[in-house]
Amino acid sequence: MLALLLLAAIPGQAPGPIALVDHVRPEDCGPGLRDPRVLCDVAPAWDRALAACAAASPPTPAEARPPACAINIPAGLYETRRALVATRPVIVTGAGGWGWAARTMIRTRTSTDGIVILASAAGSEVRDLALVSGVSRHETGTTAIRALGRVLVERVWSRLFVLGVALVADVGRASNVNGSRVRDVWIDRVEGAGVVVAGGDSNAIVLDGLDITAACERGAKWSHQPALRGARCAGVVDLSFLGVDMRALHAASARDAETRETYPGALLGLSPSARSVCSGCYLEGDMPPSFVGRLSTVVGGIGRWDGPGLRVEGPRLSSLLVSSPALPGGGWVDLAAGAITAPGVGLELRGAGIPGETWRPLRLLAEPARLAWRLDVAGLGTAVTARVGATASAPRGLGALELIRTTTIAR
């Protein structure tokens, strides 16, 4: 008995789960809905459920957030004429199922977002339901789930919006999605990107088990627009400031239905400071190569990638940079291997950091057209350059050194 009394006295304790259908009124249902399969318009009931939860919750200390309202949406097809906006933390749970097997499906009647998590609703969860747009062609940006505060999204299917999931938060705009989690989300047929992560406070986010099919169906319209933060369309657009952890992404068939232009499965680490990772990602071959940024990494998986970032496939690396300890005077020497600069791939020794001195990189480059190796000092119009033949039929014979030119560099 004492334990029950103490539990009841905990400040900010949330009321029990709320069934959304308990807040539906007769005027929310019936012939006014276009589809006889639709049970009710849930937007008014959503507002009433949040109000009921707030009224039942005890006062919350000023320095704390209110406890989450647990809102259960039973099996059925529902409709909404406007976005379901969470102004306080919510735990929204449907009846399970995935894709067309989803037992709880919410369809937007107008060109609007599905569920919006405001910054004041940080800590919210959305799971086990489907969000489908009832508009076949959008002229304004719409998103199935748009979050301005930290959120957990699990086992959700979305279809026919402009964006599937958007986690966008900027420093100084009272929004923060750092640490959000998006797991086992299936995004099917979107006009723009499947998932967008963007902004200075959109870091350390986990994207786990995404399945994005038929993104960018109007990629020409939505590329480089505010909905994509100016980026090109792709299955996943990572504009996070410091990076995301993406695991087991599956992306396929990102194609503009009108222009037939194809788009990549992922743009990873577009921010120059992002250290994003994509591990075990599977990108179908019907899309152009995805992009990995300079400080980001792709580990394993299947699919084509471009960009300066590191790609690790078994024992093979796309590039390697090894830094030595600091040299006297504060300088260092780096050994770089991989795609260096024109004219080819090879090794490069780089020195930097000593005040008043400029080190010219020493390069060993492949010259496939000549079937030879070239040794030179980079960054000079003329320099000491040598070429070694790489085949027995080379003009100088295998291993013979051919001095191309010698130039004295004046100091």
Distances (CA, A) of 143 to 167, 190, 224, 271, 335: 10, 9, 17, 22, 45
For residue range 279-321, what is the model confidence (pLDDT) as tens digits? 999 999 999 999 999 899 999 999 999 998 999 988 888 877 7
Tell me the residue range of the domain where 287 lies.
63-317
Q: Which residues contact 384 (CB under 8 A, 6 or more apart)?
A: 376, 377, 405, 406, 407
Interatomic CA distance for residues 400 and 411, integer angstroms: 31
Interatomic CA distance for residues 83 and 181, integer angstroms: 21
In a domain, 112, yes or no: yes
Residue 6: count other Cβ atoms within 10 Å of its Cβ: 9
Say yes or no: 330 and 206 in one domain.
no
Residues 212, 75, 124: CA angle, nearest 5 degrees: 60
Say yes or no: 256 and 389 in one domain.
no
In a domain, 10, yes or no: no
Distances (CA, A) of 4 to 51, 66, 69: 26, 21, 21
Say yes or no: 239 and 198 in one domain.
yes
Domain boundary pick from 317, 348, 375: 317
DSSP symbols for 8-38: HTSTTPPP--EEGGGG--GGGBSTTSS-TT-
Which band of pLDDT confidence, cut at 50, 70 and 90, is reported for residue 363?
confident
Mean pLDDT of 49-68: 80
Specify the residue for token string 């390069």.
363
Mean pLDDT of 158-181: 91
Domain boundary pick from 278, 302, 317: 317
Which band of pLDDT confidence, cut at 50, 70 and 90, is reported for residue 11?
very low
Say yes or no: 173 and 257 in one domain.
yes
Question: Residue 138 is encoded by which pair of tokens?
Answer: 């959008």
Say yes or no: 271 and 350 in one domain.
no
- Predicted confidence at residue 396, as pLDDT, reads 47
Span of 197-211, 329-343, 349-363, 382-396 with lowest mean pLDDT: 382-396
Phi, psi (deg, nearest 5) at residue 28: -80, -5
Amino acid at 367: E
Say yes or no: 218 and 325 in one domain.
no
Say yes or no: 268 and 390 in one domain.
no
In a domain, 173, yes or no: yes
Domain with residue 72: its CATH number is 2.160.20
Specify the residue for token string 């950091």.
353
- Predicted confidence at residue 3, as pLDDT, reads 38
Domain boundary pick from 264, 295, 317: 317
Interatomic CA distance for residues 73 and 347, integer angstroms: 60
In a domain, 305, yes or no: yes
Interatomic CA distance for residues 254 and 283, integer angstroms: 10
Q: Has residue 397 got a pLDDT over 50?
A: no
For residue range 75-126, what is the model confidence (pLDDT) as tens digits? 988 989 899 999 999 999 999 998 889 999 999 988 899 999 999 999 999 9
- Predicted confidence at residue 375, as pLDDT, reads 77
Q: Closest Cα partner for 175 from 238, 125, 100, 118?
A: 118
Q: Closest Cα partner for 84 from 105, 59, 114?
A: 114
In a domain, 21, yes or no: no
Say yes or no: 125 and 146 in one domain.
yes
In a domain, 58, yes or no: no
Say yes or no: 144 and 133 in one domain.
yes
In a domain, 160, yes or no: yes
Say yes or no: 242 and 384 in one domain.
no
- Predicted confidence at residue 385, as pLDDT, reads 63
* Residue 338 backbone class (left: φ over 0; alpha: ψ -120 to 50; beta: rest): left
- Predicted confidence at residue 110, as pLDDT, reads 87
385-389 and 372-377 strand pairing? antiparallel
- Predicted confidence at residue 272, as pLDDT, reads 92
The structural domain count of the chain equals 2
Say yes or no: 179 and 262 in one domain.
yes
Q: Closest Cα partner for 94 from 37, 155, 45, 41?
A: 155
Say yes or no: 250 and 363 in one domain.
no
Interatomic CA distance for residues 90 and 72, integer angstroms: 10
Q: Which residues contact 100 (CB under 8 A, 6 or more apart)?
A: none
In a domain, 49, yes or no: no
* pTM for this entry: 0.82
